[in-house]
């Protein structure tokens, strides 16, 4: 079984599209864990309605604690052999579970990485994101250091739950950019990672008001530094070879300088539009 963890907070206009994409999976052996993180709109009520109609859906109602808190609650409640994370304003391909589980089973993978598509809600623009990794073969960070350079998003990956629990990694609560801290450390410890190349299986909706578009650059800088410190401590603990260190340095520069610079530039361009 696959446990699909969906943190939910004030996403009333989007949550039904998300849930419907999950219950239409071509592989039905799933549990959908909707974590209502103290929503003040009808999001929690809609989650309950879907849970009443589909026994595969469970709802956790909790006080607002942020994305990390909601994901941790979902992981603790999960019963499946595999974990998937889906954001509540996004949606997925009907074949997501079937294709990723098949790949994981064939390769005894700890993590399966797959392609996703970004959708700009305002303009309707779409861009498919792939990973510069050898496809269809078992790799790990030491053999393919470029693994550290793929997107740190939690949502374009399937995880074996026993492996995730073995790492003892939990999401840092009270921080944004939580994936920057967690996912590189997950990938560093994964002995068997497989990149499933093909059509995008996840659809990431870029909308006004999301955390990644909040424009809180000063706080973002500090939290990126915290995430880099988390990963650096693990690398120091485990030791690293020259290739891994080179990839780490590139990732470090990207997270601290190139990505924030791009965000500032995008914000400036939007402000200049009449």
Q: What is the DSSP string of 173-205?
A: TT-SSHHHHHHHHHHHH-S-EEEE-SS--EEEE
Mean pLDDT over the full length of the chain? 85
- Report the distance separating Cα 169 and Cα 180, nearest Å: 13
Looking at residue 260, its pLDDT comes to 45
Q: What is the CA radius of gyration of the chain?
A: 18
Is this prediction's pTM over 0.75?
Answer: yes
Task: Please answer whether residues 54 and 23 qualify as being in contact, where contact means their C-beta atoms are separated by less than 8 angstroms.
Answer: yes
Is the pLDDT reported for residue 258 higher than 50?
no
CB atoms within 10 A of CB 218: 7
Instruction: Report CA 134 to chain centroid distance, whole Å.
Output: 21
Task: Please answer whether residues 28 and 95 qualify as being in contact, where contact means their C-beta atoms are separated by less than 8 angstroms.
Answer: no
Task: Please answer whether residues 13 and 82 qualify as being in contact, where contact means their C-beta atoms are separated by less than 8 angstroms.
Answer: no
What the block records as the tokens of 23 is: 């219950």
- Report the distance separating Cα 186 and Cα 188, nearest Å: 6
Kindly give, in sequence order, each residue whose CB lies less than 8 Å from that of residue 53, ignoring residues fewer than 6 positions away.
Answer: none
Instruction: Give Cα separations from 235 to 132, 228, 245, 256 (angstroms).
Output: 22, 11, 9, 18
- For 92-109, what is the mean pLDDT? 98
Task: Please answer whether residues 154 and 186 qualify as being in contact, where contact means their C-beta atoms are separated by less than 8 angstroms.
Answer: no
End-to-end CA distance of the chain: 51
Q: Which residue has the higher pLDDT, 49 or 209?
A: 49
Looking at residue 224, its pLDDT comes to 65
Q: Which of 5-9, 217-221, 224-228 has the highest mean pLDDT?
A: 5-9
Is the pLDDT reported for residue 27 higher than 90?
yes
115-146, pLDDT tens digit by residue?
Answer: 999 998 777 789 999 999 999 999 998 889 88
- For 152-174, what is the mean pLDDT? 95
For residues 103-138, b (16+ Cβ closer than 10 Å) or e, as one string? Answer: bbeebebbbbbbbbbebeeeeeeeeeeebebeeeeb
Instruction: Report CA 148 to chain centroid distance, whole Å.
Output: 15
Per-residue pLDDT band at 251 (split at 50, 70, 90)? low
User: Vertex 96, ends 91 and 98: CA angle to 5°?
Assistant: 150
Is the pLDDT reported for residue 274 higher than 60?
no
28-78, pLDDT tens digit by residue?
Answer: 899 999 999 999 999 999 999 999 999 999 999 999 999 999 999 999 999
% residues pLDDT > 90 (the chain) = 64
**Angle (deg, nearest 10), helices 259-272 and 217-238:** 160
């Amino acid at each position: 079984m696959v446990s699909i963890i969906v943190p939910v907070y004030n996403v009333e206009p989007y949550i039904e599209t998300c849930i419907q994409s999950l219950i239409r999976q071509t592989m039905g052996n799933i549990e959908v864990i909707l974590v209502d993180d103290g929503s003040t709109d009808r999001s929690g009520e809609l989650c309950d309605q879907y849970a009443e109609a589909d026994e595969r859906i469970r709802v956790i109602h909790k006080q607002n604690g942020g994305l990390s808190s909601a994901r941790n609650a979902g992981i603790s409640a999960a019963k499946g052999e595999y974990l998937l994370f889906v954001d509540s304003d996004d949606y997925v391909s009907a074949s997501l579970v079937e294709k990723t589980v098949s790949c994981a089973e064939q390769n005894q993978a700890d993590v399966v990485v797959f392609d996703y598509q970004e959708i700009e809600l305002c303009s309707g623009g779409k861009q498919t994101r792939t990973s510069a990794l050898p496809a269809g073969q078992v790799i790990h960070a030491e053999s393919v250091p470029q693994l550290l350079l793929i997107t740190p998003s939690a949502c374009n990956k399937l995880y074996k739950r026993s492996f995730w629990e073995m790492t003892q990694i939990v999401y840092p609560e009270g921080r944004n950019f939580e994936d920057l801290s967690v996912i590189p450390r997950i990938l560093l410890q994964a002995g068997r990672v497989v990149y499933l190349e093909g059509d995008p299986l996840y659809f990431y909706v870029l909308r006004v008001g999301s955390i990644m578009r909040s424009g809180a650059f000063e706080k973002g800088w500090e939290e990126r530094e915290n995430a880099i410190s988390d990963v650096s401590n693990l690398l120091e603990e485990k030791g690293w070879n020259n290739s891994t260190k080179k990839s780490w340095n590139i990732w470090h520069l990207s997270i601290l300088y190139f990505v924030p610079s791009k965000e500032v530039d995008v914000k400036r361009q939007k402000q200049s539009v009449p």
